[in-house]
Amino acid sequence: MSTSVNRSCLKREDFQSTIDGKNTDLYILSNQGGMEMAVTNYGAAILSLFAPDKEGRFANVIQGHDSLEHLINSPVDCLSTTIGRYGNRIANGKFVLDGKEYTLAINNGPNSLHGGPTGFHKRVWDVVAHDNSHIVFHYLSADGEEGFPGNVNVEMTYTLTDDNELRIDYRATTDKKTLVNLTNHAFFSLSGIGNPTPDVYDNLVTIHADFYLPTDATSIPTGEVAPVAGTPMDFRTPHTVGERINDNFIQLKQANGYDHCYVLNKKEAGELSFAARCIEPESGRTLEVYTTEPGLQFYTANWNHGMEGAHGATFPDRSAVCFEAQHFPDTPNKAHFPTAVLMPGEQYLQTTIYKFGVQA
């Protein structure tokens, strides 16, 4: 689809620049059902995603920006971007591999978050291929970048399928033992964005997980793998976001809402299986999440603070839900968590699918 005419009303020239010798641009994907997604190669960010409601009316269900300048200077650094090398937090920005301690930039309290202040969300990706329905990005993360060892080659593909799925495929290799934990930080507002964008309290959420990872006051997992049963963290059956989010429960109070990694129920490691579902009752829009990853960070946009996004839309606290498929936070410092180590000769592979629909 031409970028000159798109549902999002984004302008290509607003995303064209040169950063660190690389050109940035706007790209439009679409499918046969009328869905459309706008992305840029800066941070491999999703700028908009238009999905139909129960009446067939399309609206943008992604919190994003309408210019490169706004994206670069966003008050929420990772808004709907691709995250690496390490999604989520590493305690005190330190980890040890083969007896050597590595030190990362601290950018979230005492911890390193989402690959650091100049992680993959702040990098210009190369566009390897692009057609109407898919785009392939490549990024070479140099040895030592943000403190991580090894030259890591990353390929990431967005595909907008005719089944109304946003499919994300990741592949990475390294020339030195390192950590790789990639994710996408899409902020979903299934009611559609606006000024202000509605809260998500009535969103009905299901998460296919019997256990979650409790965190300390700085959002680092304590190491416990705790049952969700009998707590406000239990989404094994559908609950609205707002039903328990303000409960007097230390995990919710510390995080100002939901911001926790769920241990997904898996028959076998690496299987592509159902992870979560979200239903927005007024529009009837539904979102299902499938992933090969062991964990799913469920986040309710607790710190948006009414920031301004595309076309004057504003994004208050708790106006989006994020389902970040990933390995567990602080894995390199928790020996009993599934490893996020990538070795030379191995391939990191991940598939995550966000499938859109409407309530029957």
* Known catalytic membership, residue 185: yes
Separation between Cα atoms, residue 75 and residue 62, nearest integer Å: 16
**Which residues have CB under 8 Å from 309's CB, separation 6+?**
63, 64, 65, 66, 70, 79, 193, 315
Token pair for residue 176?
Answer: 């030195």
Of 146, 165, 288, 324, the catalytic one is 324
Three-state helix/strand/coil letters over 36-82? EEEEECECCCEEEEEEECCCCCEEECECCCCCHHHHHCCCCCCCCCE
Q: Confirm if 292 and 349 have CB atoms less than 8 A apart.
A: yes
Q: Which of these is catalytic: 185, 208, 260, 327?
A: 185
One-letter amino acid at 85 equals R
Q: SS3 of 287, please?
A: strand
- State the virtual CA torsion across 226, 229, 234, 239 in degrees, nearest 10: -170
Active site residues: 185, 324
